């Protein structure tokens, strides 16, 4: 800079080509530059310069420099602003760029280009007097008489009126007040236009106005519009400091125009409208007061944030989620109990306990509208319809349904969400599910809650404690939301195959409903009501093409499947449908073959379509499914002493379990095989000890006839199948019966199965899973079942037709067990009270 008649800018200026804002003399603007010419200008001129002169550059607005370094220079705007770079900040994210803070000095016009690469250098002509922006008001040029003086006076009065409508405690308003008092009036159009809310197009018009009179004429309507807008705003509601900050903004003591970093005028207006629309959505979302307070705070941060910041997208996504959540949206329950009962009966056969619980909920909802959603847990083997009955419950209530699969989940953030400080953070599955269904009272099915894992990322089962506690879930706090959300109206239904792996604290929060396996009669009914019509539809067949009689269905259930549910049965029916579909498809091709070439009579007979309907009998069943997989082998296995039939419970339902024993000369050792757990091994030692203690009473002998069954004798106990892990106390009575048969040489009855825990005194204690065990015995063809006396109450859950087919013997001690397990009783003298 040199001094002469006035302060002058250099005649040769490097030019910064910008398209994202307009720099007016007297204002300060941030520019982000990433094009090759602009990057070279910063690195070679600004960063390497050592004098104040080297920091003065020319800013040419409304000019987009090509992203790639080419020889073609875009057409330059005729007027620019000389400015001094007061700050340069470089960054490599998301791509290399510089951010420049530039203060405008004066206008200039480009007279000629001196060079275009590596950056643009031009010969310029100064259009404004530089000292007018730095001189006090008294030293500047006073307003002349005539039209210019009138415009100057009117503009100054309008600026004073604008200040009077704003709060002087806001720093930017006080800054504007000081500028009005200190700067000459001819500088006011540039300064005020840069501070009030105007578009880039309007600022460009002010920049192009070289004459002072024209400049006042361009800027005065902008100022008047701002005043009228504030008047309208004050009529609707009292103006707040937050509104004033939207009109004017200040950063680090320098005055900036709002939205100065938008790419162009349309983007600027769109972004403002977008933020306003988002604010309307936030206020109209009917969220809680605490959530609304948090959202408005984030919204204020968003308005001050440039879109290039990574946090902009995170904050915007957070606000979008908060708006989409159903804070007060709910569906109306269908409370017609008769219609609900009909719908449940049509969807599911049996399952009376589950249906009754749903109808009870509906009845209470009729009497009390503000009922909290129950938290149910359906426990039963796979394939019995736990998940599908949850979907039916949602349809019965008229609610939305959402399923959350928890099998294998080992991160508590899946339930509670991630904190927003992490990259890629997102809400948990509960909040995500609510966003998906769009209402706050859906039916949530937490599938396989017994298969939750645990890892270094936390225990999801512990995170579920808050979700499934009716006393806590009215204020469930997701880490991502960080505000409370009411889950009390959600109907939670959890499913599990077993309760053993569910933590006790979590199990205590749920109402457990046992879903037992189906009986053979129930499976037949389910197959003909649901499975066969469904499979016919999936395979494009009709009942006029395929018929499966009930005796064939019974054969499939008894000889080809052995399960508590109906999944394998459905797969077998699907295999039959596929085989019939092949026959039907082959028959459809016969007319085309006849039309093309004549066939021999033998081939015509072979390719002729089958007679409809195709009825599946036992012969066809064997051709399609192969030989039977399961046989009634109970009577065949119990042909030797030392074999007894027990009953076991598994997550898949009940199972029959053989216990085999043999003895040989030895040293009195007991060998146990079959992958047994510690409890089962202890039961075997208990059985041996009780039988040795009562050997004289029952006349039990060793291999050579001695009174001690173990003297000179080794015992081997085996539990097939050897590859399946087994544990639990319920095999105690079976082991005693098996060893008593071995030591006495007598056969156990072939149609008897048993279950029960034993003690050293010979008492029989109750066990669990009675219904599943009884159904398994019934499937296997057993006729008599020995149960503990204290399990007699569990027989009420067994279907009447199954109870009618079986003979139940309830026992208090092992003496009664042995008498019921052997034909004619287990002969012995009258027992004394020591038993």
Residues 6+ apart with CB under 8 A from 408: 451, 453
Regarding beta strands 614-615 and 546-547, do their DSSP bridges make them parallel or antiparallel, or are they unpaired?
A: parallel
The position carrying tokens 């933590």 is 503
What's the rounded Cα separation, in Å, for the pair 182 and 161? 17
Residues 6+ apart with CB under 8 A from 413: 428, 457, 458, 479
What's the rounded Cα separation, in Å, for the pair 515 and 376? 12
773 catalytic per annotation: yes
Q: List, in sequence order, the alpha helices (H) in 626-675.
A: 634-637
Q: Give ∠ CA 794-795-796 in degrees, rounded to 5.
A: 90
Residues 6+ apart with CB under 8 A from 99: 30, 31, 32, 33, 88, 89, 90, 91
- Does residue 164 contact residue 171 with C-beta atoms inside 8 Å? no
Q: Where are the beta strands (DSSP E) in 346-440?
A: 375-379, 401-405
- Determine which one of 245, 303, 523, 773 is catalytic: 773
What's the rounded Cα separation, in Å, for the pair 695 and 697? 5
- Determine which one of 35, 730, 741, 744 is catalytic: 730
- Does residue 518 contact residue 798 with C-beta atoms inside 8 Å? no
What's the rounded Cα separation, in Å, for the pair 777 and 647? 7
What's the rounded Cα separation, in Å, for the pair 44 and 40? 6
- Does residue 342 contact residue 392 with C-beta atoms inside 8 Å? no
- Does residue 491 contact residue 330 with C-beta atoms inside 8 Å? no
* Residue 280, number of CB atoms within 10 A of its CB: 11
Neighbour-count burial of 708, counting CB atoms closer than 10 A to its CB (0-12 exposed, 13-18 middle, 19+ buried): middle
The position carrying tokens 């006349």 is 699
* Among candidate residues 49, 51, 109, the one with its CA nearest the CA of residue 78: 109
- Does residue 97 contact residue 68 with C-beta atoms inside 8 Å? no
What's the rounded Cα separation, in Å, for the pair 381 and 376? 16
- Does residue 56 contact residue 8 with C-beta atoms inside 8 Å? no
- Does residue 148 contact residue 185 with C-beta atoms inside 8 Å? no
Regarding beta strands 764-765 and 757-758, do their DSSP bridges make them parallel or antiparallel, or are they unpaired?
A: antiparallel
- 3-state class percentages of the chain: helix first, strand second, coil last, to nearest 5: 45, 20, 40
Q: List, in sequence order, the alpha helices (H) in 125-264.
A: 147-165, 171-182, 188-195, 200-208, 212-236, 241-247
* Among candidate residues 769, 677, 663, 752, the one with its CA nearest the CA of residue 706: 663
Omega within 30 of 0 (cis) for the link into 534: no
DSSP per-residue codes, 624-639: HH-S-S----HHHH-S
3-class state of residue 810 by DSSP: strand
The distance of Cα 363 from the centroid of its chain, to the nearest Å, equals: 32
329 catalytic per annotation: no
3-class state of residue 739 by DSSP: helix
* Among candidate residues 750, 810, 808, 818, the one with its CA nearest the CA of residue 784: 808
3-state secondary structure 41-76: HHHHHHCCCCCCHHHEEEEECCCCCCCCCCCCCCCC
DSSP per-residue codes, 206-234: HHH--SHHHHHHHHHHHHHHHHHHHHHHH
DSSP H or E stretch at residue 511: strand 511-514
Please list the active-site residues: 730, 773
């Amino acid at each position: 800079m040199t001094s002469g008649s006035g302060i002058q800018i250099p005649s040769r200026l490097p030019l910064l080509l910008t398209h994202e804002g307009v720099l007016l003399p007297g204002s300060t603007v941030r520019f982000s530059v990433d094009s090759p010419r602009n990057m070279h200008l910063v690195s070679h001129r600004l960063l390497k310069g050592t004098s104040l002169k080297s920091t003065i550059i020319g800013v040419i607005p409304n000019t987009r420099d090509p992203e790639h370094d080419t020889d073609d220079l875009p057409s330059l705007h005729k007027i620019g602003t000389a400015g001094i770079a007061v700050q340069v900040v470089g960054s490599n994210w998301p791509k290399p760029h510089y951010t420049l803070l530039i203060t405008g000095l004066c206008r200039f016009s480009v007279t000629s280009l001196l060079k275009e690469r590596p950056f643009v250098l031009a010969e310029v002509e100064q259009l404004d007097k530089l000292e007018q922006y730095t001189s006090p008001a008294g030293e500047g040029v006073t307003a002349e008489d005539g039209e210019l003086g009138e415009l100057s006076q009117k503009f100054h009065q309008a600026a004073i009126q604008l200040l009077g409508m704003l709060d002087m405690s806001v720093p930017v308003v006080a800054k504007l007040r000081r500028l009005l008092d200190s700067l000459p009036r001819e500088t006011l159009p540039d300064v005020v236009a840069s501070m009030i809310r105007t578009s880039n197009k309007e600022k460009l018009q002010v920049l192009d106005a070289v004459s002072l009179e024209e400049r006042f004429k361009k800027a005065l309507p902008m100022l008047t519009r701002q005043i009228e807008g504030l008047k309208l705003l004050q009529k609707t509601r009292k103006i707040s400091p937050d509104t004033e900050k939207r009109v004017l903004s200040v950063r680090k003591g320098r005055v900036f125009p709002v939205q100065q970093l938008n790419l162009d005028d349309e983007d600027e207006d769109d972004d403002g409208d977008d933020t306003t629309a988002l604010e309307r959505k936030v206020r109209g979302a009917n969220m809680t007061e605490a959530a609304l307070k948090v959202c408005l705070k984030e919204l204020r941060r968003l308005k001050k944030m440039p879109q290039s910041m990574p946090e902009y997208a995170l904050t915007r996504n957070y606000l979008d989620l908060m708006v989409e959540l159903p804070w007060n949206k709910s569906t109306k329950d269908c409370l017609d109990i008769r219609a609900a009962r009909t719908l449940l009966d049509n969807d599911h056969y049996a399952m009376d306990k589950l249906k009754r619980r749903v109808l009870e909920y509906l009845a209470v909802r009729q009497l009390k509208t503000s009922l909290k959603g129950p938290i149910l847990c359906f426990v039963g083997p796979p394939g019995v319809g736990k998940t599908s009955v949850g979907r039916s419950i949602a349809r019965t209530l008229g609610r939305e349904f959402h399923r959350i699969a928890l099998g294998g989940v080992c991160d508590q953030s899946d339930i509670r969400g991630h904190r927003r400080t992490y990259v890629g953070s997102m809400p948990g599955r509960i909040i995500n599910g609510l966003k998906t269904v769009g209402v706050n009272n859906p039916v949530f099915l937490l599938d396989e809650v017994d298969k939750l894992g645990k890892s270094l990322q936390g225990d999801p089962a512990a995170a579920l404690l808050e979700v499934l506690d009716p006393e806590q879930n009215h204020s469930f706090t997701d880490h991502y939301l960080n505000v409370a959300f009411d889950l009390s109206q959600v109907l939670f239904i959890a499913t599990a195959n077993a309760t053993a792996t569910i933590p006790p604290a979590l199990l205590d929060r749920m109402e457990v409903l046992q879903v037992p396996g189906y009986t053979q009669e129930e499976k037949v009914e389910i197959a003909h009501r649901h499975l066969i019509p469904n499979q016919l539809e999936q395979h494009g067949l009709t009942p006029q093409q395929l018929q499966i009689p009930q005796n064939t269905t019974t054969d499939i259930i008894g000889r080809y499947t052995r399960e508590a549910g109906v999944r394998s049965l459905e797969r077998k029916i699907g295999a039959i449908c596929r085989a019939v579909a092949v026959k039907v498809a082959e028959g459809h091709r016969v007319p085309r073959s006849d039309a093309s070439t004549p066939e021999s009579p033998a081939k015509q007979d072979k390719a002729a379509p089958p007679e409809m309907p195709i009825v599946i009998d036992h012969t066809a069943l064997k051709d399609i499914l192969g030989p039977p997989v399961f046989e009634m082998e109970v009577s065949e296995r119990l042909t030797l002493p030392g074999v007894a039939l027990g009953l076991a419970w598994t997550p898949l339902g009940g199972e029959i379990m053989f216990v085999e024993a043999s003895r040989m000369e030895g040293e009195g050792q007991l060998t146990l095989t079959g992958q047994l757990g510690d409890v089962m091994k202890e039961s075997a030692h208990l059985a041996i000890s009780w039988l040795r203690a009562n050997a004289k009473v029952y006349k039990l002998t060793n291999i050579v006839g001695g009174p001690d069954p173990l003297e000179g004798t080794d015992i081997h106990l085996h539990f097939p199948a050897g590859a399946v892990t087994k544990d639990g106390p319920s095999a105690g009575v079976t082991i005693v019966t098996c060893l008593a048969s071995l030591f006495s040489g007598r056969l156990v009855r072939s149609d008897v199965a048993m279950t029960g825990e034993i003690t050293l005194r010979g008492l029989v204690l109750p066990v669990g899973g009675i219904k599943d065990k009884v159904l398994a015995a019934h499937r296997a063809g057993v006729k008599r079942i020995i149960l503990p006396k204290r399990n007699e109450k569990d027989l009420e859950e067994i279907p009447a037709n199954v109870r009618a087919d079986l003979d139940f013997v309830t026992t208090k001690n092992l003496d009664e067990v042995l008498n019921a397990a052997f034909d004619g009783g287990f002969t012995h003298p009258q027992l004394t009270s020591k038993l």
